[in-house]
Amino acid sequence: MESANDKEFMVVLPDGELALATEVKTPQRSHLICYNCKTHLVYESFAETVRCGVCNSLNGTQYYAPHSMNYIVCRCGICHTMLRAPANCVAVCCPNCRSISIIGR
């Protein structure tokens, strides 16, 4: 719903309250090529993984959480895909081949 000023909008918040918004920001988009079928994928910039709608493959992005020190990087024991997991986890499931890799300390 627009107000008298064309640059202000009434917005319904998730808790049901109304708020006056002066600007609507569109989410930043990034894009990549699916590693499996080479389809061009567009996704929101903060996504860590993107599932291809054509071949259903899970593609990693270049996004890293601000506290990336809380993560470790390891390699899948079966398909050798690079995996990122929370630093305190004992095992990680590979999204590519679905095998479980035990993380050694």
Question: Cβ(78)–Cβ(97) under 8 Å?
Answer: yes
Interatomic CA distance for residues 86 and 93, integer angstroms:
12
Interatomic CA distance for residues 101 and 88, integer angstroms:
14
Domain boundaries, the chain: 66-105
Question: Cβ(48)–Cβ(63) under 8 Å?
Answer: yes
pLDDT grade for 2, boundaries at 50, 70 and 90 = very low
Cβ-based burial of 16 (10 A; exposed 0-12, middle 13-18, buried ≥19) = exposed
pLDDT grade for 5, boundaries at 50, 70 and 90 = low
pLDDT grade for 1, boundaries at 50, 70 and 90 = very low
The one-letter amino acid code at 2 reads E
pLDDT grade for 55, boundaries at 50, 70 and 90 = very high
Note if the pTM is more than 0.75: no
